[in-house]
């Protein structure tokens, strides 16, 4: 799937029980998954790639799902977030497929930005 700079690219849904969440979304919506271990499953897109993921966590935070933006330059995007008044809450880290960081906007919403570069 093509990725576009600074657009919404992925939605990560926090769940308390990964197996139960997969069962629910498969039954309710026909979703299929790519498993990445005991605590994460990617949501397969209708035609190719992934459009989101289920992330097992100990608690579900207010505000719901994690919106993930794509960037062609992760360092520049992190700097732009800070320059605009946002706060980096999780420094850039590697994961299968790339790197990402999490930030809070001035209203306290948490989002993430990822890059495959």
Q: For residue range 33-58, what is the model confidence (pLDDT) as tens digits? A: 999 999 999 999 887 789 999 999 88
Q: For residue range 7-36, what is the model confidence (pLDDT) as tens digits? A: 888 999 989 999 999 998 998 878 999 999
The CATH homologous superfamily for domain 71-117 is 2,3-Dihydroxybiphenyl 1,2-Dioxygenase, domain 1 (3.10.180.10)
Domain ranges across the chain: 11-60, 71-117
For the entire predicted model, the pTM comes to: 0.72
Q: What is the mean pLDDT of residues 71-75?
A: 95
- Whether the Cβ atoms of residue 63 and residue 109 lie closer than 8 Å to each other: yes
The span from the CA of 16 to the CA of 54, in Å, is 10
CATH class label, 11-60: alpha beta
- Whether the Cβ atoms of residue 45 and residue 90 lie closer than 8 Å to each other: no
pLDDT at residue 61 is higher than 90 = no
- Whether the Cβ atoms of residue 65 and residue 13 lie closer than 8 Å to each other: yes
């Amino acid at each position: 799937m093509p990725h576009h700079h600074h657009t919404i690219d992925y939605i990560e849904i926090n769940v308390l029980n990964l197996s139960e969440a997969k069962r629910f979304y498969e039954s309710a919506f026909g979703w299929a998954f790519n498993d990445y271990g005991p605590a994460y499953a990617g949501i397969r897109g209708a035609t190719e790639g992934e459009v989101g993921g289920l992330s097992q966590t100990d608690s579900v935070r207010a505000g719901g799902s994690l919106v993930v933006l794509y960037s062609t330059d992760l360092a520049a995007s992190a700097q732009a977030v800070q320059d605009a008044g946002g706060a980096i809450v999780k420094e850039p880290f590697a994961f299968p497929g790339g790197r990402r960081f999490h930030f809070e906007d001035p209203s306290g919403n948490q989002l993430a930005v990822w890059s495959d570069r």
